Chain A
Amino acid sequence: MSQNYDRRKFLAELLKFPPATIVLGVIGPVRLLAAAGTDEYEPTEHYYAMGIRVEECIGCGKCVKACKLENDVPDEPYYFRTWVERYIVYTDGEVQVDSPEGGIHGFPPVADESFPPVAAGKEILRTFFVPKLCNHCDNPPCVQVCPVGATFKSQDGVVLVDEDYCIGCRYCIQACPYGARFLDPRTKTANKCTFCYHRITKGLLPACVEVCPTQARVFGEIGDRSTPLNRMMRMSHLEVLKPHMNTEPKVYYTALDGEVR
């Protein structure tokens, strides 16, 4: 509350400067509208999803870091709401996957990447990065198995955890095919990506999407309104992870390789 007040006061003072008024004139109404809408956020009017353009991901790990900071995820490398995997397919068919500390510090070069290339044991056929996170399944197995109703799909399509009600049985962690859940060692309750629910309900983008430098992550809504995601869904061939699980994920990938599991 006090923070909002400070910000308003600051804006008011800023308005006294002529150059600022011009910018505010352009961006201001949009932002202020969004801010004004916070109070009357209507979940039934939204249905969120995310797109991931694998061909754009550069493996910088900024999303992983932003997620940890934004959502107060424990620092240790065993707890991730989102992470980035690197796939290296060699010419002999071997597939090597790694995600050192979830990719939070980026990735080390692989052996044959020294320049000019030197003879190492293997030759790369193709290689790419794949960001992962909770798929916010439309048919979520984690919600199905929760014995007490402490995890659920909200009206706007986000799978959330009720920290104050979770008993810590960890059945949801077992049931998630994507490894997207962990037990928060501080609260002893299940924890996972919320699409930054506290941000999206205020009109902001999820932190990982905000900081992604190449727009490999696209956030938006499914439905008839025009969103970046809708555009992507209209223009691309989409894939989801482990479709045979029939979890109906709402994180859609483009250029997803068959080796990604």
Chain B
Amino acid sequence: MIESLAKPVKALRAWIRGRRAGSRRRRIPTQLIQLGVIFAVVGVGMFLMRQKFVPDTFGDLGHYRAAAVAANAELEPRYAGWQECAMCHPDKVEAKNSSFHRTVSCESCHGPANDHASNPMQLKPELPAGREPCLACHSYLASRPTGFPQIIEERHNPVRACTGCHDAHDPTPPESIQECSACHNTIARSKAVSPHAPLDCEVCHEAPPEHKVQPRAHVPKKPFEREFCGTCHDRRARPPEEIRGVDLSVYEIPRIDLVTHGGTFVCWQCHYQHSPEAR
């Protein structure tokens, strides 16, 4: 065992001796020594600089300054959160939270209120006024989700302030809770901003009065044939000038040829009747 080790050790010694003898004969060129010194100085300098200047918390958690996390968390919030509001304004929050505006937080309309929360008497939050603040969400835009309550500004009680009829903290519209829209809210809202807006639900759906009591047992009528739509939209038909009090003559009703239009499909397979295409 020991002998087997001794052999390579001997060989190594011989090699080192040979190297030493050789180096005495072939000294390292002076150029290399000069360059070596320069590189050593630069290298050591860089190393020392690095030791000195790398920021304290760098690398503690990853390849970044751990202190930067705290720096990001330092900023003072400006929005307090609705729970903060609830501490002093429980009545308002409670009313809002059981209304259609339950998902709207206080600061959505009143602006950032952290300053107010910490100095309630001196610093007051915004008090929205006029129609604009409400229209930001409720003016009609085609891109808004179907069924989201929207109004056509010019047609919906122009000039009057929204708060004249609606309480912002409980904005239930005076009439909507009755009649069809009480249950068919999404449909009512879609229709309200569609070309079919002037039409009453009962123009197409004749509903027995019992429907309101037992909706499943007494189902309203639904149009089931093309001819029904054709009453107004067939090119050959002569639509009534007035339906349930609505003067139809002011509208340009789109007309088609019921015989050739749409093949075997019924109208509502292509057109959503509560919000039909514009033309």
Contact = CB atoms under 8 A, between A and B. Distances in A.
Q: Do chains A and B touch in the complex (CB under 8 A)?
A: yes
Interface of A: 3, 6-7, 10-11, 14, 19-20, 22-24, 27-28, 30-31, 41, 43, 55-62, 66, 69-72, 86-88, 106-107, 109-110, 112-113, 115-117, 119, 123-124, 127-129, 149-155, 160-165, 194, 196-199, 201-202, 204-205, 207, 210-215
Contacts of B119: 6
B79 A198 contact: no
Interface stretch (B11-19, B26-34, B35-43, B81-89): B81-89
Given A59-B144, A107-B143, A150-B64, A213 B87 contact: no
A43 B76 contact: no
B140 A123 contact: no
A214 B105 CA distance: 10
A165 B71 CA distance: 12
Interface in B63-90: 63-65, 68-69, 71-79, 81-84, 86-88, 90
A127 B107 contact: no
Nearest to A120: B278
Interface stretch (B54-62, B212-220, B235-243, B259-267): B54-62
B104 interface: yes
A198 B64 CA distance: 18
B63 A149 contact: yes
Contacts of A204: 77, 79, 81
Given A27-B86, A152-B64, A152-B68, A117 B77 contact: no
Contact of B155 (A41, A72, A115, A155): A115
24 contacts: A19-B90, A20-B90, A22-B90, A30-B83, A43-B69, A57-B145, A60-B137, A66-B107, A69-B78, A69-B112, A115-B155, A117-B278, A151-B64, A152-B64, A165-B64, A201-B73, A204-B79, A207-B112, A210-B108, A211-B79, A213-B103, A214-B145, A214-B148, A215-B103
